[in-house]
């Protein structure tokens, strides 16, 4: 009798295990063969580079992904999806200006040369970040004067087009008031960041060639203006580059699965990217900016803007100069709201050219430290 009872309990447990196993297999199969995702992509497609006059990006399916990573497509973002069928071709960048502050660098009463022009890649909705920049390193008063009492620095904010009429009206007002907005007609989207960066270099080439140096930054950083000014006093007037260089960055993981951006081999077959600057902030002499813009028109447009600029610099044979003073990590001596201001910490803080993605209280403290002796 005990034997029968034991067999019964074993059989019941085995049945439960089998039921759970079958349910797991069915669920896994549904993920692997999930078709409505592709239907959604087709219904919501936008083309990122379907020709020189395209202004709006496209989401596409990606039939060429390796079979062993097909399960992952259930979790892909729109940007990752679009990259899979990216069409490699040069972009003539013939978009038109919605806003263009023509007098920014051509004031007849100003100095014959400008030391530095900063262009800021900014999201259209980030008016608050632009205001913060105007009150810190984007203020003309934060930089020494250079002839005729004019600031040594100029700054513009780069925006793409938006679909929201209310947001565009706000941008129009901001542009009329501050006269520092450059906006072009391509849709402002993550996979148009390469176009936005080239747009900045095009603008410098056409409208601010009087600047000796150019700094590309994002709108979530703060710059040590006094240190940048001092660096440029002894910088080479030509072929000058400075930033955090990323060397031999893997395109795909060693296991063959696709990484953060799912860059397919058809788009970039090499295992590592060429050296390129971390795009939060880097410095270039303006001759380098003009050459990057020129060669970009002959180079297949690539979705990742930092890598694309690295490709152009490689074509030009220009060496990227590395500096660890462009901080993109955290301060070991910082909390979320305060920096520890001991002597060693202050010495370290004063040596940073830029700091990326910190809270406003810490950025305020940094700015106060950097400008304390001015």
Domain extent, residue 232, equals: 97-321
Cα separation, 76 vs 74, in Å, equals 6
Three-class DSSP category at 213: strand
Q: Is residue 63 domain-resident?
A: no
Specify the pLDDT at position 360. 86
CA gyration radius for the chain?
26
- The pLDDT assigned to 37 comes to 29
Nearest Cα to Cα of residue 197 among 188, 236, 146: 188
Side-by-side strand order, sheet with 354-356: 221-223, 354-356, 326-327
| Per-residue model confidence as pLDDT tens digits over 8-22 | 454 555 555 554 554
Distance, CA of 197 to CA of 207 (rounded, Å): 15
pTM given for the model: 0.78
The answer to whether the CB of 366 falls within 8 A of the CB of 222 is yes
In a domain, 314, yes or no: yes
Residue 357 falls inside a structural domain? no
130 located within any domain: yes
In this predicted structure, the answer to whether residue 186 has a pLDDT above a threshold of 90 is: yes
Output the pLDDT for position 250: 84
Please report whether residue 367 resides in a domain.
no
Q: Provide φ and ψ at 295, rounded to 5°.
A: -75, -25
Number of domains in the chain: 1
Q: So what's the pLDDT on residue 228?
A: 98
Residue 365 placed within a domain: no
Rounded percentage of the chain residues whose pLDDT exceeds 70 = 69
Helical ranges in the chain per DSSP H: 2-32, 36-43, 78-83, 127-134, 165-178, 193-207, 225-233, 286-296, 305-316, 343-349, 360-370
**22 within domain boundaries:** no
Q: Is the pLDDT of residue 53 over 70?
A: no
Mean pLDDT lowest among 51-65, 110-124, 184-198, 325-339: 51-65
Task: Please report whether residue 211 resides in a domain.
Answer: yes
State the Cα–Cα distance between residues 22 and 20, nearest whole angstrom: 5
Least confidently predicted of 63-67, 121-125, 250-254: 63-67
Per-residue pLDDT tens digits for 227-283: 999 999 999 999 999 999 999 888 876 554 545 567 888 889 998 999 999 999 999
Report the Cα 45 to chain-centroid distance in Å. 23
- Given this model, what pLDDT does residue 320 score? 98
Q: In CATH, what number is assigned to the domain containing residue 247?
A: 3.90.550
Q: Tell me which DSSP letter residue 125 carries.
A: T
Range of lowest pLDDT (1-5, 125-129, 130-134, 155-159) = 1-5
Whether residue 72 is predicted with pLDDT greater than 60 in this model: the reply is no
Residue 122 above 50 pLDDT? Answer: yes
- List C-alpha distances in Å: 121 to 85, 96, 319: 26, 17, 24
């Amino acid at each position: 009798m005990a034997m029968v009872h034991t067999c019964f309990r074993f059989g019941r447990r085995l049945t439960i295990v089998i039921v759970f196993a079958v349910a797991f297999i069915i669920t896994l199969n549904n993920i692997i063969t999930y078709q409505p995702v592709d239907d959604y992509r087709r219904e919501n497609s936008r083309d990122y580079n379907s020709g020189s006059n395209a202004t709006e990006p496209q989401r596409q399916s990606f039939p060429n992904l390796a079979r062993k990573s097909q399960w992952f497509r259930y979790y892909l973002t729109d940007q990752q999806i679009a990259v899979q069928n990216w069409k490699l071709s040069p972009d003539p960048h013939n978009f038109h200006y919605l806003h263009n502050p023509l007098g920014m660098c051509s004031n007849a009463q100003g100095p014959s040369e400008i030391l530095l022009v900063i262009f800021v890649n900014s999201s259209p909705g980030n008016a608050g970040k632009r205001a913060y920049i105007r009150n810190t390193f984007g203020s003309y008063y934060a930089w020494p004067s250079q002839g005729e009492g004019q600031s040594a620095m100029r700054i513009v904010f780069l925006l793409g087009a938006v679909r929201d009429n209310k947001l565009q009206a706000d941008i129009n007002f901001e542009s009329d008031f501050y006269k520092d907005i450059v906006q072009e007609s391509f849709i402002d989207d993550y996979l148009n960041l390469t176009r936005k960066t080239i747009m900045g270099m095009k603008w410098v080439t056409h409208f601010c060639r009087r600047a000796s140096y150019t700094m590309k930054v994002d709108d979530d950083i703060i710059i040590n203006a006094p240190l940048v000014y001092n660096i440029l006093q002894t910088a080479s007037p030509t072929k000058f580059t400075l930033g955090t260089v990323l060397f031999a960055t893997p395109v795909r993981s060693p296991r063959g699965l696709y990484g953060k951006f799912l860059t397919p081999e058809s788009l970039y077959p090499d295992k590592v990217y060429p050296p390129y600057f971390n795009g939060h902030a880097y410095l270039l002499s303006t001759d380098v900016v003009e050459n990057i813009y020129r060669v970009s028109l002959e180079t297949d447009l690539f979705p990742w803007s930092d890598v694309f600029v690295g490709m152009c610099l490689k074509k030009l044979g220009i060496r990227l100069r590395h500096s660890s003073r462009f901080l993109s990590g955290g301060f070991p001596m910082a909390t979320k709201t305060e920096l520890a201001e001991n002597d060693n910490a202050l010495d370290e803080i004063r040596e940073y050219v830029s700091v990326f993605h910190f809270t406003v209280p810490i950025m305020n403290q940094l700015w106060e430290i950097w400008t304390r002796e001015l």
